[in-house]
Structures are given as C-alpha cells and as structure tokens.
Amino acid sequence: MADSTNKDVEKNVSRRDLLKVGAAILGATGLTQLFSLNSLQVRGKEIPDEGGRKWGMLIDINKCIGCNYCTYACQAVNNLADDMLYNVVTAEETQSGEEYFLSRPCMQCAEAPCVHVCPVEATYYRPDGIVEMNYDRCIGCRYCQVACPYGARVFNWKDPIELSPKSPDFGVAEVENRPRGVVEKCHFCSHRIDRGLEYGLTPGVDREATPACVVVCPTGARVFGDLNDVESPVSKAREEAIVTLRLREELSTEPRVYYIPPTTKKTGPFAGEGES
Amino acid sequence: MLPDIHCPTIKLGKRSIVVFPYWIGLLILGLLFGLVGAFIVLRDGLHVTGLSNAIPWGLWISIDLSAIAMGGSAFVFGVIVYILRIKRFEAIGKLAVLLGFLGYSTAGMVLLFDLGRPLRFWHPVVYWQPHSLLWEVTMCVVLYLSVLMAELLPIVLEHPLFKTHPWLTRYKALGSLMERAHSFAHSLHKAGPVLAVAGLTLSLLHQASLGATYSVLAGRGIWFNQSAPVQFVFSAMSGGIALLFITSVFVFRVMRPGTVSDSAIYDVARLTGGITLLLTYLRVWDWAVTNYYSFDREVFLQTQILDTIAPYSLTFWLGQALLPVIAGSVLLAAKSIKNFRYLMLAAVIPILAAIITRWNYNFAGLIASISYDPFTPGIILNSYTPTWVEFSVGTLVICYWLLAFSLAARYLPFSSGHDHH
C-alpha cells in the first residue's frame, strides 16, 4: 500500500519535473532565437560620409601586364618578407576563356567585414575611408582574416625581418615594423597620404603622396585619388571608363577599389594585340 | 562527511590493482609532453603551427569549440537545481558545474595559445567592440567562468580538508581565513539562483554567438546560415548533458554508490535523449533548407568539393542524423532499458555528434573558400595539416581536463546534503 502511494507521488513529482524542464527548454529556445536574430544584424560603427575625402583606386585590367611590380613596391615600402603579400596579382580567366591579370590590394570597404568582427576595435575606419590597423591593440585572433572575403589580410606568423628582399630595388621601408603575432594589411600607403597632405601635395597626382603600387606601375594601370573630388584622377578615369566593377559586390561590402573589366576598353600597351 | 569512494580496480591474475595512481601518472606524462609544445609555441610564435593565411583557425579552435560544448550541461542543471529547485538533481548539478568549469577553462586555455599576442588576452575586456561576435564570446567566457568559479567554490570548500584539518586549529590565521572563505562560500551558495540566471543568460548568449561568429560571415558561403546559433546551443546541451550522464554513472554509481538515485541518473539520460532528438530535427531541417529547398551555387560547390576530399556529407547523415536519432531514442527510453552499459554507449553518440558538428563547421568554410575572381568565381581548396606542436598543446589541454576531472571525481564530496539551511 504505502509503497504504491510512494510510487504515485514519485511519478507525479517526476511528471511535474518533466513539465518544468520542458517549459525551461522552450523558454531557452525562445531566448536563443532572440539573441541570434540580434547578433545576425551586426554592423560596425559607421563613420558618416561628411563629404570629405574618400580615397579610392581604379585598376584597369586591360593595362595590367602581370609584372608584379605593385606587389614588390608594396613589400619594399612596408618592409615585408617575400611570403607576406598585401597585394596579390593572379592570372584569371574571363568566361570566354580570355586570360587576364587581376591585381588585388585591400578593397578599403565602406562596410568592411574585418572592422565589424574585430573584438577590440584594432581595425577601424579612418575618416577618409581607409581601413587601418592599430597594431598596439591587435590580439592576433585572426577573426578579420576569416571574415575578409578578399583574403586581403596577412598575419605576422614570424618575427619581422630587418630588410625586405625587395629593398632597395623597389623602394625603402617607410613604416615601422609590426611585431610578431598581429594581423596587418594594405593601408593605401596612408603614411604617404598624410605626409603629402601636410606638404600641400595631392594624393593621386603627386608621386610622393600616392601609394607606392600606383607610382611604380609601369603601364599606369592603377589610378588613385579622392572619389569625392570630380577632378581627381580616379574620378576622371571612372568617368571615362565604359564599365567598372568591384569584386564580390553581392556581399555589400562597398569596396573603394574599382576595376575596368577586360576587353571593354583596350588602351594598354598591348591594345589591339590578339584581335583580328 | 566524505562518502565512501570506490576507486575502479583492474584484476591482474589474483591481484587487483587500483587504477587511479597509474592513470594520474599517465596524465602527468601527457601534461609534460604538452608543456613542451606550449613552450615552443610561446617562444617561437604561431609559425610552428600548420596554420596559414588561408586557414587561420585550425585544430585549437576546434578543440575550443568542442570543450565549450562539453560544458553545456552546467547552465541547464544550474536552472534545474537552483531555479526549478528539483532537489534530486542537486548532486548531479554539482558535477555539471564542475564539467562547465572544466570545459570553459580548457577553452580559455587553448585560446590563449591560439592568440598571436597571448599577453593581450585582456584587451577585449578593456577595448570594447560590442558589434563583434568574438568580443561577445570573450566577454561571456570571462564572465561565465567567474560565475562557474563562484558556483564551484562552495562545492570544493565542502571537502573536510577545509573544515577539520588540524592545521586550521594550529595556525589561527589559516583558521580564520578558512572561516571567512566558508562564510563567503555560504553567501555564494545562497546567491545560487542569481548565479544560475546569470549563468543561463551568459551561456545561452555565448553558445549562440559561437555559432553566429561563423554564420555572420556572408563571404564564406556554407557558413552563412541563420540557424547556426540555435544549432550551437542545442548541440552544446545535447553533447554536454550526454557527457554529464556518462560522468554521473561513473562518479555516482561506480565511485559513490547510493549518493544519487538511479532514477535521477536515468532522467539525465532522458533529458539528453530528448534534446538530441530535437537537435537532430533542427539539423535535418537546416540541411533541407540549405540544400533542398533553396539552391546556392557556392554552397553546392563547396559541399561537392568537401565531399571529394573528406566524408563531409557522410559525417552529416551518419554522425549528425542517423546515429543521433537512434541514440536519442535509446536515451529517451532509459527508464525502460535500465542498462547503464547500453545507455552509456548510446550517450557517446551525442557527444561525438556535437564535436563533429563543430569541427565540420570550423573547417568547412575555410577549407573550401570562395574566390573573389569576378568572372569565373570558383571554390579554392585550401589544405591544412596540424603540426606536432598543435597536437602537443591539444594534449596539454585535454590532459588538464582529464586530470582535473579525475582529481575532482576522486576527492570532491558531491553529496547533496544541504539540509542545514
């Protein structure tokens, strides 16, 4: 008798417990849904476009001959070892099978995934749109590398080198060495831009104030300047170009590097070649 | 009082050997091996790993994700014991707190090695970037570890060593220190419900944001997935509670028989069974949504290329769908099966499923990454082989987990007696 009553009690308790746990799980599900929806709407702090300078680049794929000088100049100026590449030149194909060279600096996105994900704000937008690194703050978690759709970020796996192998042929180191264990990236040679502006030079026009890759390019495939200034070389070139495109535009990262796609405008040193 | 603790023995001929000291010795050897790797990586930097700019997250992050999943029972049982006040789970709840602490501290430890600048690990706490999922993850880990420590301290201080050791009377300072510690622990214990709510919030936030860490990255195709946060929460609950079931059988039935009723342990199995089935349901729907009801060229190509180099789809169908359904059903029927061997065998599967889910998630988007080529975009197949240093540090943290667990299982009083208040 007593035994069966006990059993009943235990059963009841157990059922109530089950209900409690069930309700708790349902509540938990609701909470996770709430949190996950919120976290999916992640957007970093945006600096309003004040109509000030916004540095941008235009790369004419038709003019690029794949010489890699942009990469080498970048390595010399930023004092990079051979396996550290801010800028990459690759051979690609159009859908019709035509080969071309695609050179890729950092896109300096207006909606940069790397800025959104950095846990310590070590990477940030400068007011002029350049996405720059605070190397003293970076913890080396490499989330930005994972987030960047362009693979534009490089991690300092090793200790910095004394002298880049590309120096002095392609230039000399112009910026401080970064310590081992931080992520670094192309910064449109912001040190040149800042210094140049101090001396009243115009980035994109005066060599000293223009990114090294743009200056070194033997075919003038790269054009630099202020996207908000209609008189800047980059704005003029964009005006002239029939079509421009940006890489992976479907991701809404709003890159500030534009490309003139192959065959739409044949003005390079090999213009007309291969055409019959 | 410390209950009688039975240590497992092995029969060798006529002798029966207590395994414990040999097991601890083995773990210490593992720790020493791990310390070598840890020293090398801290001295030479991360280039001693197999990681690259294409695959910046590897073995360690996968261990980190898995360790955090293994701590998933702590917040569930915090709620069950402190908020729902279901008394018969009190002792199991203490074990869950221990597992939570071990999981999170293991994860924190392995993350420390994974940072390029380990000495700046505190930066997220000072330099806030609340839009970053990783910032949120870090903050939650830091805060939740504190909560877990607050929950664990009273359990550790229950040990008679801290109450009746002769030194406590011989050295007055030590005695008064202990008294203060006990009153602190007592107030911590009274704050149990508050800690449980904090733990639940932080843990849910954190497990969900771990999934979101990957799923907000639109540029990675296969990672860009709305349900990843929910899946991460449920895989932590299913795997974490399955581990709690196995360890409960070990700690309470084998080592402290009579402390916890069998029916309470069966209930743990039923809980993990139910959650495993729920998780599998979610997983299968997620598969259907991403692969059947919608077509994304990039995801399709990524899956295809992953299948050519690894049993990627197979691990889903077998490891995350079929076997968990069987194991979940078996565990749910624990009260009719009443066989701890079978149930423990079944409970291994949710643990493996949680680990596979997270390993696949971590590697899928990196191994098969999407190129930025504007006209003929394709999938780039990256490769990554962990070096011995990575395995060594992995051994270090896993041995830490096992050693701390073994010592706790051997020496901590997991008694449920709190009748004095």
Question: Highest-confidence range of A186-195, B11-20, B374-383, by mean pLDDT?
Answer: A186-195
Is there a contact between A145 and B53 if contact means CB atoms under 8 Å apart? yes
Out of A35, A45, A181, closest to residue B45 by CB: A181
Is there a contact between B209 and A39 if contact means CB atoms under 8 Å apart? yes
Residues A105 and A29 in one domain: no
In total, the C-beta contacts within 8 angstroms joining chain A to chain B are: 198
Interface residue B103 vs chain A (CB under 8 A): no
Domain membership of residue A91 (yes or no) is yes
pLDDT at A33 over 80: no
> Beta strands of chain A (E only): which ranges?
55-60, 88-93, 99-104, 123-125, 131-133, 154-155, 183-184, 222-226, 257-260
Query: Domain tally for chain A?
Result: 2
Residues A94 and A224 in one domain: yes
Is there a contact between B213 and A31 if contact means CB atoms under 8 Å apart? no
Residues A71 and A35 in one domain: no
Number of Cβ within a 10 Å radius of residue B292: 9
Q: What torsion, rounded to 10 degrees, do the Cα atoms B223, B229, B230, B233 define? A: 120
Instruction: Give the C-alpha separation, A101 to A90, whole Å.
Output: 6
Residues A35 and A130 in one domain: no
Is there a contact between B138 and A119 if contact means CB atoms under 8 Å apart? yes
pLDDT at A29 over 80: no
What is the mean predicted confidence (pLDDT) over B84-89? 88
Domain membership of residue A273 (yes or no) is no
Is there a contact between A139 and B79 if contact means CB atoms under 8 Å apart? no
> What digits encode the pLDDT tens for the residues B202-227?
888 888 989 999 999 988 888 888 88
What is the mean predicted confidence (pLDDT) over B192-204? 86
What is the mean predicted confidence (pLDDT) over A122-150? 94
Which residues in chain A are closer than 8 Å to B229, comparing Cβ atoms? 32, 35-36, 39-40
Task: Look at residues A61, A95, A55 and name the one whose alpha carbon lies nearest to residue A244.
Answer: A61
Domain that holds residue A198: 55-260
Interface residue B375 vs chain A (CB under 8 A): yes
Quick one: pLDDT band at residue A267, thresholds 50, 70, 90?
low
Quick one: pLDDT band at residue B175, thresholds 50, 70, 90?
confident
Beta bridge partners of B219: none
Is there a contact between A94 and B376 if contact means CB atoms under 8 Å apart? yes
Residues A102 and A196 in one domain: yes
Q: Which residue did the predictor score with more confidence, B108 or A271?
A: B108
Quick one: pLDDT band at residue B268, thresholds 50, 70, 90?
very high
Share of chain A above pLDDT 70, in %: 83
Instruction: Give the C-alpha separation, B250 to B130, whole Å.
Output: 41
Interface residue A129 vs chain B (CB under 8 A): no
Domain membership of residue A23 (yes or no) is yes
State the DSSP code for A51.
S
The minimum CA-CA distance between B265 and chain A, rounded to whole Å, is 13
For chain B, what is the mean pLDDT? 89
State the DSSP code for A256.
S
Residues A88 and A139 in one domain: yes
Residues A28 and A147 in one domain: no
Task: Look at residues A80, A109, A77, A93 and name the one whose alpha carbon lies nearest to residue A216.
Answer: A77
Search chain A and give the residue with CA nearest B237. A25
Interface residue A34 vs chain B (CB under 8 A): no
Domain membership of residue A269 (yes or no) is no
Is there a contact between B115 and A181 if contact means CB atoms under 8 Å apart? yes
Domain membership of residue A100 (yes or no) is yes
Place of tokens 């924190």: B108
Which residues in chain A are closer than 8 Å to B132, comparing Cβ atoms? 42, 116-119, 143
Share of chain B above pLDDT 90, in %: 53
Residues A157 and A25 in one domain: no
Pairing of strands A99-104, A88-93: antiparallel
Quick one: pLDDT band at residue B12, thresholds 50, 70, 90?
confident
Interface residue A97 vs chain B (CB under 8 A): no
Is there a contact between A248 and B372 if contact means CB atoms under 8 Å apart? yes
Residues A12 and A103 in one domain: no
Is there a contact between B56 and A154 if contact means CB atoms under 8 Å apart? no
**Poorest-confidence range of B43-52, B112-121, B195-204?**
B195-204
pLDDT at A72 over 90: yes
The minimum CA-CA distance between A93 and chain B, rounded to whole Å, is 7
State the DSSP code for A232.
S
pLDDT at A31 over 90: no
Residues A120 and A238 in one domain: yes
Residues A129 and A7 in one domain: no
pLDDT at A225 over 50: yes
State the DSSP code for A238.
H
Delimit the domains of chain B by residue range.
9-411
> What digits encode the pLDDT tens for the residues B369-419?
999 998 888 899 999 999 999 999 999 999 999 999 999 998 887 775 554
Scanning B243-282 for CB atoms below 8 A from A yields 263, 267, 271, 275, 278
Q: Which residue did the predictor score with more confidence, B169 or A50?
A: B169
Instruction: Give the C-alpha separation, A88 to A72, whole Å.
Output: 10
Class of domain B9-411: mainly alpha
pLDDT at A13 over 70: no
Interface residue A28 vs chain B (CB under 8 A): yes
Phi, psi angle pair for B311, to nearest 5°:
-75, 60
Instruction: Give the C-alpha separation, A64 to B214, whole Å.
Output: 35
Q: Which residue did the predictor score with more confidence, B323 or A17?
A: B323
Predicted confidence at residue A2, as pLDDT, reads 46
B296: tokens are 């994304």
Interface residue B40 vs chain A (CB under 8 A): no
Which residues in chain B are closer than 8 Å to A92, comparing Cβ atoms? 373, 375-376
Instruction: Give the C-alpha separation, B263 to B287, whole Å.
Output: 36
Predicted confidence at residue B61, as pLDDT, reads 95
Interface residue A146 vs chain B (CB under 8 A): yes
Domain membership of residue A19 (yes or no) is yes
Predicted confidence at residue A43, as pLDDT, reads 44
What is the mean predicted confidence (pLDDT) over B232-250? 94
Instruction: Give the C-alpha separation, B46 to B63, whole Å.
Output: 17
Interface residue B225 vs chain A (CB under 8 A): no
Predicted confidence at residue A50, as pLDDT, reads 54
pLDDT at B117 over 50: yes
Predicted confidence at residue B186, as pLDDT, reads 84
What is the mean predicted confidence (pLDDT) over B146-164? 83
What is the mean predicted confidence (pLDDT) over B41-63? 94
Task: Look at residues A79, A57, A212 and name the one whose alpha carbon lies nearest to residue A129.
Answer: A57
Out of B45, B127, B220, closest to residue A159 by CB: B45
Phi, psi angle pair for B243, to nearest 5°:
-65, -40
